[in-house]
């Protein structure tokens, strides 16, 4: 159970016809009484910002951080579609608001799919009333919503985290164009904790940092990235730190599923850089290694070619001394002091053959550390992305 896990939230999914194959492509998450509740969001940093991001950002600003619903459409990103695209996003919010007897400003919208193609508003608009009428609680409704937001995903991504006296639920989509700030993705999180918009914004930003912002598959940042958090308040006030941990755990769980479902990937790689001068330099170095096509090919070939990692670390733009660096695969050190060392080759080979790889690079310069979640580069990624997708 995902977004419908916390009391006070309902959801649903439908086939609106945005996608030509007739599969579910429109999801809705809303409060069960249609009333606006505290909300917060984190959006893409891409300046080629899609219409739904522009509209949702404006709605949160206009309402002081309150929302009654989040509409998600899949199959068309409604990005680079000009004034008509923005009006389409606004109209969808108006239709959802009308069905819930809520203001259009209290409706947020997320959209995903192909860029630069006019959004089929008449088709989508016709499906909204039925979607609103079909809203329900329970796991089936949550599954329907999570399925309807998928694009090239192979499974619906849901999470439910239990906190002391409250819970955080979530759903997400994302399988490609995954890169820091943010991963190319949409996510809707819900909680029954009672928290004001400012608190939600703080805990959401903190949770996104080590999860979605630390995930990279191909180094591409989307035009539509959005993570939204709604709080029904049904559980009453909760411990702020406990809420922050639960939101972070939910974000991490969803980000991990996205890495596991990345297009063409056969490896999920937990890449750590330690011993940097600062945490910021460690993250910078880790991202450089994680986004190297040569390194990613090595992961796919199960080849512990540490020389490629060292080369990327040295060109990452951070403090570096080749005589201090070390590299380990699965806890087995293969390089120390910048040179190869004797090690258990069978243990390394067994680790590289697994689904989850743990790679640790130590720069030997300080206490800074950072972790990036990434994947290998597989044949399936090229097959999926060699044409418009």
Rounded to whole angstroms, how far apart are CA atoms 72 and 109?
6
**What angle, 0 to 180 degrees and rounded to 10, lies between the N-to-C axes of helices 293-300 and 279-290?**
60
Residue 379, classified by CB atoms within 10 Å of its CB into exposed (0-12), middle (13-18) or buried (19+), is exposed
Q: Per DSSP, what are the bridge partners of residue 135?
A: none
The residues, ordered by sequence, that sit 6+ positions from 33 with a Cβ below 8 Å of its Cβ are none
CB contact burial 17-46 (16+ within 10 A = b; e otherwise):
bbbeeeebbbbbbbbeebebbbbbbbbbeb
Q: Where are the beta strands (DSSP E) in 214-285?
A: 226-237, 268-276
Torsion of Cα atoms, 120 then 125 then 126 then 131, to 10°: 120
Instruction: Mark whether 112 is an active-site residue.
Output: no
Residues recorded for the chain: 389
- Give the whole-angstrom CA distance, residue 372 versus residue 287: 6
Q: Which of 4, 73, 147, 184 is catalytic?
A: 184
| Residues with catalytic roles | 184
């Amino acid at each position: 159970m995902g977004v419908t896990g916390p009391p006070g939230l309902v959801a649903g999914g439908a086939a609106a016809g945005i996608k030509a194959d007739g599969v579910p492509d429109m999801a809705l998450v809303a409060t069960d009484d249609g009333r606006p509740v505290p909300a917060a969001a984190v959006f893409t940093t891409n300046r080629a910002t899609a219409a739904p991001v522009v509209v949702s950002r404006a709605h949160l600003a206009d309402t002081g951080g309150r929302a009654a619903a989040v509409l998600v459409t899949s199959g068309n990103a409604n990005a680079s579609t000009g004034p008509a695209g923005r009006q389409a996003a606004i109209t969808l919010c108006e239709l959802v608001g009308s069905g819930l007897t809520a203001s259009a400003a209290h409706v947020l919208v997320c959209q995903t799919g192909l860029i630069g193609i006019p959004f089929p508003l008449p088709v989508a608009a016709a499906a909204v009333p039925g979607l609103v009428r079909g809203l329900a609680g329970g796991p089936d409704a949550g599954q329907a919503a999570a399925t309807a937001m998928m694009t090239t995903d192979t499974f619906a991504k849901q999470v439910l985290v239990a906190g002391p006296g409250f819970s955080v639920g979530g759903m997400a989509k994302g399988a490609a164009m995954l890169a820091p700030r943010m991963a190319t993705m949409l996510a809707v999180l819900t909680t029954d904790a009672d928290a004001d918009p400012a608190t939600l914004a703080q805990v959401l930003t903190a949770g996104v940092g080590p999860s979605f912002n630390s995930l990279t598959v191909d180094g591409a940042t989307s035009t539509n990235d959005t993570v939204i958090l709604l709080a029904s308040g049904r559980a009453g006030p909760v411990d702020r730190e406990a809420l922050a941990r639960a939101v972070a755990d939910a974000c991490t769980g969803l980000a991990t599923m996205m890495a596991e479902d990345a297009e063409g990937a056969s490896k999920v790689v937990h890449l750590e850089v330690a011993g940097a001068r600062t945490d910021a330099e460690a993250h910078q170095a880790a991202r450089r290694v994680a986004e190297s096509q040569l390194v990613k090919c090595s992961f796919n070939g199960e080849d512990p070619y540490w020389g490629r990692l060292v080369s990327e670390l040295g060109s990452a733009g951070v403090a570096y001394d080749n005589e201090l660096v070390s590299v380990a695969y699965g806890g087995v050190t293969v390089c120390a002091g910048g040179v190869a060392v004797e090690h258990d080759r069978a243990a390394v080979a067994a680790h590289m053959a697994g689904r989850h790889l743990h790679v640790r690079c130590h720069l030997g310069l300080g206490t800074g550390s950072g972790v990036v979640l990434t994947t290998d580069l597989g044949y399936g990624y090229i097959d999926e992305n060699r044409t418009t997708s």
